[in-house]
Amino acid sequence: MKIVKADEAGLGEAARTLLAGGVAVIPTDTVYGLAAHPGFPDAVRRLYSIKERAVAKPIALLASDADAAERFLGGMDAQARRLAARHWPGALTLVLPCARGGGFEGVRVPDLAFTRELAARCGGALRVTSANLSGGQPATAAAQALADVGLSADVVVDGGVSPGGAASTVAKCAGGVFELLREGPVRFLVLASGSPRRAKILREHGVDFVVEKGDAEEKSYPHDPERTVRENALAKGAAAKTAGPVLSADTIVWFGNRIYGKPRDLDEARRFLRELSGRVHTVFTGVAYCGEAKVVRSDVRFRELSDEAIGEYVRRVRPLDRAGAYDIDESGDLIVESYTGSYENIMGLPLEPLREWGIVE
C-alpha cells in the first residue's frame, strides 16, 4: 500500500493502480472515497469486501463530466440533463435508468478537479463508495480513511480535508418522477402535497422538487374560507419531515357561504356538481412557503349541467380527490363556461405567490 499526495505524481500513481485493476482511496468534494475501475469486476468486489458492504447495495459512479456519465448510461432524458446542468459538478448523485445492461445506476460529477481528472484518465468513470466501514462515519481526511479501510487498498491519495464533509444527496429520476433517496448537501424544494395537478404545474415551469404528502389534520371555518386555506396550508408545510424549503397548499371551492372540499363518494360528487351547475363559485387556494402564507382567489362559472352531463363527467374524471368534485384541467370544458383570475389557482397552485418567492420565473 502506497500513500501519495494529490498532485500530478499522485494522480499518475492512482490512475496506474486503477487501470491495473487495483483499489484506491481518493479525495472527493464530499468525503473520501474507495474507488475501483468499473471494467475490473474483481476490483469492484474488493470494494464490497473491504467496506464490508452488502452486495445488494449498488456502488455509484463518479464521472469526469456529464458527457462521460451519459456515455456510460447509454443516454439521459431531458429531466436528467437539466438536473445535471444545474447541479454538476456538485454533491448530487442521480440514480438514472441505464440503457446498457438495464436497471439503474447512481452517478455524479464531483466538484473536485483531482477526482474528475482521475476519472477522465480511467475512461471517464469510476466506481466509488465512501471510504469507511459500512455503517461507520464517512472519512473527511486521509488519515481517517486509512484507519478505516485504507490498509486494504493499494494506494491512498492524501488530498487534505475534504471540502464538503458530508455524503452527497441521492435522488432517483425516472419517467418524470423525482424521488429523494438520501438527504445531503443539495437541497430541493419539498412539495408537501400528493396532488398530481400541483406537481404538474411545478414540472411545467422547470422546478426540481420532491414530494412529501403531509399528514396534517385539515381544519374548516365554514364562514371564513381564506382562514381555512391559509391555516391548512401552513399546517401541511409544518408537518413536512424532509429537509429543504417546503411548499404546501390547500384549495377549496366556496359557494353559498359553504365550503366544498373533496367529495366523500361519487354520490356526493354528483350533488356538488348539481349545486354548482349554472352558477358562479369561488376557488380559494392558500399557499405556504417557509412559514409564509398567501391566499389567491378565482371565480368560476359552470355551464348548465344535466344529470347526463354530470354522470359523464364523473365517469370520465373520477373526481374524488378534487375540491368541489371537478378539475378544470381535465375535461374542464365539459362543465366550465368561464372563469376570472388564475387558471393555475383553480388547479390548486397559483403562480403569483411562486413568482413572488422566486420559485418560478
Active site residues: 250
Torsion of CA 205, 210, 215, 217, to 10 degrees: -30
Question: Hunting for cell 401541511 — which residue is that?
Answer: 236
Q: Is cis: bond before 41, omega within 30 of 0?
A: no
Q: Which three cell numbers stand for residue 106?
A: 447512481
Q: What is the secondary structure of 16-82 as a DSSP string?
A: HHHHTT-EEEE--SSS-EEEE-TT-HHHHHHHHHHHT--TTS---EEESSHHHHHHHHT---HHHHH
Query: Collapsing DSSP states into helix, strand and coil, what is residue 300?
Result: strand
Query: Is-contact 34 141, C-beta < 8 A?
Result: no
What's the rounded Cα separation, in Å, for the pair 130 and 339? 55
Question: Hunting for cell 404538474 — which residue is that?
Answer: 200
Q: Which runs of consecutive H residues, i.e. helices, occur in 134-265?
A: 142-148, 196-204, 225-238
Question: Hunting for cell 371537478 — which residue is that?
Answer: 326
What is the number of residues in the chain?
361
**148: amino acid identity, one letter:** D
